Structure 1
């Protein structure tokens, strides 16, 4: 990563907090968004700064991923055994615009999950760009387990919850609310400050509504790992759509959810959809054989499956592709950016601090080219990615005076 320095990005089309502005500029300083403005006002603070001419590119806040298992050939489970693998995951996703993320773990024995959380805890504490640990299980429905080993699933008990939380700080946990003891577990987790997500569930509409009334605030990868919408059995998706406090995760890879359904969900719950990667180790890596939570996974043409029925096993998605896929599905660019930035920030209680380009917020900035691929990425004010097209421009400007 390039060392942090005061940076001015000018002549950009800026999207943030559901609004857009042309010919805008942003100043990054001391890890924060220091100022924003329009036209040539950037010149007054440009002396001694690293000046980047966006050339009309789109500038957006850094993406926030609430659900990421891995990438670059490594998984969060690998990191627990070898911390060096963390760089493979975060470097891959940061190149693709994700500046803040949770590390997600799939279901396993309680002692194993506790040990993995304990191993991840100091790494999360040392890196402010990591927002915590998400446990996707083990309190899931066997009938909708997806890529989770059936033997690892169990019902929630106070002792099980205590063991998992003792392993390290758990930021979010996915749970099936119809399991015995699950509603009590949701009460306990919410009281402890853990974000509760509903997923991998056979819950009916009433049970899901009850879980949300108790404080569950996320629907894990909606439409996947749960009953669909039926006109006489609306299920957990409709329960989430009609509960104003709930944020709905969508995997926008063109495989997990049809583009028309994505557009429908965005219309039904404006500002409450968060695009997630659900990426496993094969994101940014070649097709082939992988492991996910002890399951053998095969990746062909970028689609990860397991078992004889080729059930989906996470994705190989990066969030810049989610953005492009959403726009291709007819989602307005401003709304798609919101689903990657301020909406996931609100889940974490960090609205106004990340996922925005408001002065005083974290200096997480993505400069997108015409194809919505990141040409430059700053995370906490540090330049973590610069595409060759901008490298060439930077070199050509090196000898020119500021403002020329």
Structure 2
């Protein structure tokens, strides 16, 4: 006779909220670690990221020597990660418009070239690529990546409305950090931002830290397109750390008062945790949690083609975050295993 399986633990979650785990499509690093300069640190960040309720993320490699991209691909393909799931890489660059490079080192920017992306595919660890669609030969890159299962996003771009729409028709399905590293929305020249807001096919990445985008504008975008928004942190090495100096790629940033900037004053990523982003959206939009959660769960999962993530459904991975009534993280589970908050849950055993 087969042995009976041990009974699953029971926890009393009265007054707590169980939600799907949060998914971050754009994370440059955290806890003092920068993925671009040292991709080996992805594992260390994954292990601790669960404290913010993040159960899956895309380590983001910014414009850098291509050898760093190759190393990051090896790390993701070979890594055995504990904590938050690593869903693949987000490569932000090198096909960006120099005029909207932001914190990206212009020495490493390149014009679109099929040779550069020869090994970039979902099978080789690349899940999402951000590029400027107005650059010459960008259409060839978009087509090649889409055929390899990679999601393509428009960003760091000066694309006109018409150029953006053309790129959406070519296969782009997202826009990276709306309003940032693109021309301002203008009533006669709506540009990439206007195209993203008007096209129902496009998932809109948005950084709700109150620095990259004003809270009032976040509220306006939410009211018009909440069903297409994927909240991202765009956090970098300073997340979870005190103010000071940190690396983003080969650039030193100064972090103070919730802002990360280069020596020339350019914004360079954020120090936003995803659970704080959720609390910000709640406060700025006055929306209930059930309306907020898709932007942190099902919408990013659907963009990546991962229909079984970001949802609480029988037979789906039990990637969960447990909040208190103030949306503070009490515990996080990945694959049904408690990866953060075990002491608290043990105190609540039935």
Residue 14 of structure 2 aligns to a residue in which SS? coil
Conservation of the 8 A alpha-carbon contact between 2:20 and 2:297 = yes
SS at structure 2 position matched to 1:377: strand
| d(CA) in 1 for partners of 2:342, 2:292 | 23
1:157-196 pair list within 5 angstroms? 157-162=113-118, 164=120, 168-196=124-152
Structure 2: any 5+ residue segments left out of the alignment? none
Asked if 2 retains the 8 angstrom alpha-carbon contact of 1:203 and 1:236, the reply is: yes
Quote the offset at 1:329 in angstroms: 0.2
Q: CA–CA distance in 2 between the matches of 1:288 and 1:143?
A: 28
Pairwise CA distance, 1:79:
4.4
1:169 Cα offset (Å)? 2.5
C-alpha separation in 1, matches of 2:137 and 2:83: 35
Native 8 Å contact 2:50 2:84 kept in 1: no
Equivalent residue for 1:60, pick from 8, 15, 19: 19
Q: 1:334 to 1:138 in 2, by over 3 A?
A: same
1:276 matches 2:232? yes
Q: SS in structure 2 opposite 1:187? A: helix
Q: Distance in 2 between matches of 1:128 and 1:322?
A: 18
State the Cα distance separating 1:279 from its structure 2 match.
1.0
Q: Give the drift of 1:251.
A: 0.7
Q: Which residue of 2 aligns with 1:43?
A: none
State whether structure 2 residue 205 is matched by structure 1 residue 266. no
Corresponding residue number in structure 1 for 2:278: 323
User: Structure 1: where are the runs of 5+ without partners?
Assistant: 1-28, 30-46
1:124: Cα distance to partner? 6.7
Counterpart in 1 of 2:73?
Answer: 117
Give the match for residue 291 of structure 1: 247
Q: 1:370, CA displacement in angstroms?
A: 2.2
- Paired with 1:358 and 1:168, the residues of 2 have a C-alpha distance of 29
Say which of 61, 65, 71 aligns to 2:30. Answer: 71
Report the CA distance shift for 1:236/1:137 in structure 2 as closer, same or farther (over 3 A).
same
TM-score (norm 2): 0.93
Please say which structure displays the higher CA radius of gyration: 1
The Cα of 1:221 is off from its aligned counterpart by 0.6
CA contact (8 A) 1:114 1:166 kept: no
The runs of at least 4 consecutive aligned structure 1 residues that moved more than 4 Å come to 124-128, 163-167
Change (3 A) 1:166 1:245: closer
TM-score (norm: length of structure 1) = 0.81
Match of 1:358 among 294, 298, 313: 313
Q: Which residue of 1 aligns with 2:339?
A: 384
Comparing 361-370 and 124-133, the one that deviates more: 124-133
Q: Quick check: 1:248 aligned with 2:175?
A: no
Q: Cα–Cα, structure 1 residues 331 and 162, in superposed 2: closer, same or farther, change >3 Å? A: farther
CA distance in 1, matches of 2:342, 2:218: 30
Tell me how far apart the structure 2 counterparts of residues 204 and 109 of structure 1 sit (CA, whole Å): 29
Q: Which structure dedicates a bigger proportion of its chain to strand?
A: 1
Counterpart of 2:99 in structure 1 is 143
1:252, distance to aligned residue in structure 2 (A): 1.1
Residue of structure 1 equivalent to 2:269: 314
Residue 368 of structure 1: aligned partner: 323
